[in-house]
Structure 1
Amino acid sequence: MKRALHFFEQTIKKNRLSHLYLISGPKGSGKEQLVDLVSYMILNQNKPENNHMKIQIKQRTMSNMMVIEPEGLTLKKEQIINLQTEFSKTALVKGPRIYVITHVEKMNQSAANSLLKFMEDPISKEVYGFLLTDNIDNMIPTIISRSQVIHLTEINEDALKTELMQLGVLENAATLAPYLTKDIDQAVELSKDPNFIGMLDFIEQIAKNWGNRNISYPIFFSKLAGIVLQDREIFKNFLELLLLYHVDLIHYRANQPIIYAYLKEFIQIQSDQMKVNEINELIEAIQETIKKQTYYINTELALDELSYILEKKR
């Protein structure tokens, strides 16, 4: 996204901004974040810093900005007509106006025809459009041909971890949030979520108590189960992160980079105590528990069963 942002900074500085951009990239590539930043640069160009405007853009309350999202499964003709109607009115605030259409691949043909008409007969030279898509291959070709296309790639976990730590997120949350979401704003919110923090603490306690024979895993799990059994999605996230930890045991043995670097001393102890086939059996058990969740198996029983499997391998 940084490369695309630099492109827009230079384009705006040189006054070469096109009137329609198609921003394509997988979920989590930062399309919405990019549009928010570029919209601010356009609307606040050559003016003092305006934090209130940034908040308005983020909350979609900016009067000179209109965001359209699919209604149900499709973007409808009526939504595009409403856009035309709104932009034909005199703006409450002078200056550029921006429209953003998300998931534009979900636009039906009649909506696309209305958009093309709107694009071909612009109301003002100061109107800028941003079309966002997760899948450009499903887009109507005529829309692509009329747009300047910007491709974004999905941000990787290490890059997102670095960005989160720069924002003050603690290492454990910054390390693992990117494995549950690639959206920077969602990752920041996740890092503040008590359920997520409790989940990370649970996994850390599993790691730290691996060699403590005074603690029974089934009893230990039952005491902390409430943290991860509140919701099936939370439970699934817990299993995914627990799986990553056990995969790290293999990676450590193979001298490969590990994800849970902040728990390296415990990974070293457990990995050295176990045979590779035993670690693989644990990995398979966790994977099987994840698979069972697609069939809505009782989460409490699933966690209890997993605790006994882990206990046998200690």
Structure 2
Amino acid sequence: MKNTESIVELFKQAHKNNKLSHLYLLSGPKGSGKKKISFEVSAYLLGQDVESVKRGHINLYFIEPDNNTIKVEQIEELQKEFSKTSLVSGYRIFIIEHVDLFTIPAANKLLKFLEEPTSVKTIGFLLTTNKEKVINTILSRSQNINLPAPTEGDLKIKLLSLDIDPYKAEVLPYLDKNIDTLKQLCEDSKINHLLEVFDGFTETLVKGESIWLYSDKYMNDIKYDKIYLNYFLQILLIFYLDLFKLNNKEEVSLQSLTEKYNKYKISKKKILKNIELIQNLILKLNFNINLDLAFNEFLLNL
């Protein structure tokens, strides 16, 4: 798996060897670095630093969906801008995010634009998390680069390099694969509280005490918030998956909880049942449900 730094370096080498393509499709899950790569390569080609390019550059045009679609008017505006003579020499670059959300007229307009390049130094970056939904004619015109999601281990190392608390650095990558989102979560006071509650909740489980009483005392602000309840359940799911791994003599994901895992007396059958309970409640959160009722039912069966 190539990391974003090595891919940016490949672009630099292609530029030095005069082998850059006119159009690239960067596909991969959220957090795989598509936008990061496109802006870093753009900054390199424009001879600017990344942050200044993100703020805006006369030779860079950025398009993102308007109400969940990329409209023909947006591509027409791109054509209009690139038909003008630039006040700054060098590369002219466009970045289009979520190209799987093109309307048919917008896709056709982009294809026409690609057939009639305004300059040999025009380069486009098309970004998508759903490559299978990108129109075939656009796929065929692009040089495809598939990016894997970063692993939890990779993200943990990045967070530790930022002096993030080791426990947070280990747990939070299971909630999101975007390093910028993870940085925000690390500074979120509700996440700090959630991790404290999770520690107390699992300690209560291990001791065989009443999770009902514990939840009633400490979890009211979490169980009524879908986002944070989902975070809590995602971590709890990793907890039980680790117990299953330990039962099978496999390496656990959350090494910092190993001592707690070893103290928890629970059968393999009960572990599997609890994993199913957690997964079902996570699924229910996608619908309009009574959170209090659903969570209380969950506790009764856990």
- Normalised by the shorter chain, which TM-score bucket? 0.7 to 0.9
Cα distance in 1, alignment partners of residues 168 and 78 from structure 2 = 41
Secondary structure of the corresponding residue to residue 161 of structure 1: helix
Contact preservation (8 Å) 1:236, 1:290:
yes
For normalisation by structure 1, the TM-score amounts to 0.84
User: Which of 143, 168, 185 is the equivalent residue of 1:173?
Assistant: 168
Total equivalences in the alignment: 299
User: Which of 146, 151, 162 is the equivalent residue of 1:156?
Assistant: 151
Q: Which residue of 2 aligns with 1:258?
A: 252
Cα distance in 2, alignment partners of residues 284 and 19 from structure 1 = 48
User: Which of 12, 17, 22 is the equivalent residue of 2:20?
Assistant: 17
Is 63-72 or 292-301 further displaced after alignment? 292-301
Secondary structure of the corresponding residue to residue 243 of structure 1: helix
Q: Which residue of 2 aligns with 1:205?
A: 200
Contact preservation (8 Å) 2:204, 2:214:
no
Gaps of 5+ in 1: 45-49
User: Which of 245, 266, 269 is the equivalent residue of 2:263?
Assistant: 269
Q: Which residue of 2 aligns with 1:31?
A: 34
Q: Which residue of 2 aligns with 1:47?
A: none
User: Which of 77, 83, 104 is the equivalent residue of 1:82?
Assistant: 77
Letter in 2 for 1:300: D
1:269-290: CA deviation from partner (whole Å, max 9, x where unpaired):
01xx222223333333333433
Percent identity over the alignment is 37
CA RMSD of aligned residues (A): 2.5
Distance 1:73 1:294, change over 3 A: closer
Cα distance in 2, alignment partners of residues 289 and 113 from structure 1 = 43
Secondary structure of the corresponding residue to residue 249 of structure 1: helix
Cα distance in 2, alignment partners of residues 216 and 104 from structure 1 = 50
Contact preservation (8 Å) 1:63, 1:93:
yes
Gaps of 5+ in 2: none
Q: Which residue of 1 aligns with 2:126?
A: 131
Cα distance in 2, alignment partners of residues 230 and 192 from structure 1 = 21
Secondary structure of the corresponding residue to residue 219 of structure 2: helix
Q: Which residue of 2 aligns with 1:279?
A: 271
Q: Does 1:66 align with 2:69?
A: no
Give the superposition deviation at 1:101.
Answer: 0.9
Q: Which residue of 2 aligns with 1:244?
A: 238
Distance 1:199 1:57, change over 3 A: farther
Secondary structure of the corresponding residue to residue 34 of structure 1: helix
Give the superposition deviation at 1:239.
Answer: 1.2
Distance 1:286 1:106, change over 3 A: closer
Contact preservation (8 Å) 1:172, 1:200:
no
Q: Does 1:193 align with 2:185?
A: no
Secondary structure of the corresponding residue to residue 285 of structure 2: helix
Cα distance in 1, alignment partners of residues 129 and 277 from structure 2 = 34
